[in-house]
Amino acid sequence: MNYRIGQPELLKEINLSRAFDILKSARILSRPVLAHQTGLSRATSAVLMEDLLRAGVAKHVGLGDSTGGRPPALLEFNPDAAYALGARMVDHRWGIVITNLDGLVVQRLDIPILNHTPEAAVDALYEGVKTLMATVDQTRILSAIGLGTPGLVDMEAGVIKTAVDVNWFEVPIRAMVEKKLGLRTFVANRGKVGALAEYWHGAARNLKDIIYISIGTGIAAGIVHEGKLFMGANSSAGELGHVTILPDGPICRCGNRGCLQQLISEPAIADRARVRLREGGDTILWTMVGTYPERATAEMVFQAAEQGDGLAGEIVVEVARYLGIAVANLINLFNPELIVLGGPLGQIGQVLLEPLLEEVRRHAMAYPLSVVKIVTSAMGPDAGAIGAAVLVLQRASELIFGDKH
């Protein structure tokens, strides 16, 4: 690729991208400061600033302090100059958001998928995006969409390799969405993109190495290193749900035994509660399920444990024991600053934190353990869709400036 660097247009795009990033993080900037930070001449910086102004991502906000001569004009970053689309698929629904350039939600929409086929999912996405786009100034929407989908995703090819819970295999989701919606499409696993949402404006803002663990019907870890989602050789890094915790444990849909997912996913926790209820356990869970143990959910178990219920508390401790082993391994392997528990169950997992920490202390090495914090996500149900939008926001300058020269 080096031979292309000499091309003036590409060089300008690279410089614009740097100027965009510098302005976005500085928020307010003068031409001399931009010149200093990019190492470019003041004349080149002036041209870049004109481009930023023309695209609307910068606006004038008066004059800075003079250092002798004329006071420099100050430019402010305008996060509402462009919008990004992101969508997350879960439980046969799409949660779709439009965010501004800071990843803040401008509009949101939830839309059902009529049947279990990929075609129906793409049709629902099309309808949802069309409806949502009509609510904002469409000229600001970047011509792209980020998707958080179930399953193992080949991010390079935009193909869902396997998504067992919806029974999808080798689904070329990117090509399908690009054809139907006419938008550049970026795809990643729905659990892992939550890490990007946390990194952009959740608990992990301004940190470099974080791990987000999504706990729901499945379990996945989004590993962010130096601000980027760590993908691995074929974008399957972070399959935390399928690390072996109990070698002789229950069989998993992946074919192995004792996977973390078989022990602490939503269905696994609900099953534990059902077994205990059928054994006639004394618990306030009965007030939630009536006389039907099969009505028990993982959420109920966490709620009951929070209210001090002994039986639910025992299940939570069991969950913490298994999750603790996985988290300690992550700490030893990746040395993160922060671990965020997210997904439908993780974000209501405050009751899990104390027993989890106890278990993690037992298994992790003291030195990497000394820097890590473990928290529950405060981002709410939009985290996955926002994370999907971040797949677009990461390419914002390319999408804003890429086609213009």
Point out which residues bind Zn ion (CB under 5 A).
242, 252, 254, 256, 259
- Calculate the CA 9 to chain-centre distance: 33
Q: How far is the CB of 256 from Zn ion (least distance, A)?
A: 5
- Choice between 256 and 335, CB closer to Zn ion: 256
**Cα–Cα distance between 237 and 231 in angstroms, integer?**
5
Q: How far is the CB of 316 from Zn ion (least distance, A)?
A: 22
Find, among 131, 124, 108, the residue nearest to 176 by Cα: 124
- Choice between 187 and 259, CB closer to Zn ion: 259
Note the maximum CA span of the chain. 83
Neighbours of 233 (CB within 10 A): 6
- Choice between 231 and 254, CB closer to Zn ion: 254
Q: How far is the CB of 252 from Zn ion (least distance, A)?
A: 3
Q: How far is the CB of 112 from Zn ion (least distance, A)?
A: 29
Tokens encoding 115: 């049947």
Give the number of residues written for the chain.
405
Q: How far is the CB of 254 from Zn ion (least distance, A)?
A: 3
**Cα–Cα distance between 202 and 338 in angstroms, integer?**
12
- Choice between 95 and 218, CB closer to Zn ion: 218
Q: How far is the CB of 269 from Zn ion (least distance, A)?
A: 16
- Choice between 34 and 263, CB closer to Zn ion: 263
Tokens encoding 222: 């989004």
Q: How far is the CB of 162 from Zn ion (least distance, A)?
A: 11
Give CA separation, 192 vs 133, 165, 250, 359, in Å: 26, 16, 25, 24
Strand 83-90 relative to strand 184-189, pairing: unpaired
- Choice between 163 and 252, CB closer to Zn ion: 252
- Choice between 93 and 257, CB closer to Zn ion: 257
- Choice between 194 and 218, CB closer to Zn ion: 218
Burial of 405 (0-12, 13-18, 19+ CB in 10 A): exposed
Neighbours of 257 (CB within 10 A): 15
Helix spans in 134-189 (H)? 173-181
**Cα–Cα distance between 272 and 288 in angstroms, integer?**
16
- Choice between 49 and 325, CB closer to Zn ion: 325
**Cα–Cα distance between 194 and 181 in angstroms, integer?**
24
Q: How far is the CB of 219 from Zn ion (least distance, A)?
A: 10
Q: Residue 101 in contact with residue 79, Cβ under 8 Å?
A: yes
Q: How far is the CB of 255 from Zn ion (least distance, A)?
A: 7
Q: Where do we find the tokens 């990497």?
A: 368
Helix axes of 298-306 and 310-334: crossing angle, nearest 10 degrees: 100
Neighbours of 7 (CB within 10 A): 10
- Choice between 107 and 256, CB closer to Zn ion: 256
| DSSP secondary structure letter of residue 294 | G
Q: How far is the CB of 11 from Zn ion (least distance, A)?
A: 48
Q: Look at phi and psi of residue 91 and say left if phi exceeds 0, alpha if psi is from -120 to 50, else beta.
A: left
- Choice between 172 and 249, CB closer to Zn ion: 249
Q: How far is the CB of 262 from Zn ion (least distance, A)?
A: 7
Give CA separation, 34 vs 16, 30, 42, 146, 394, in Å: 11, 6, 8, 30, 21
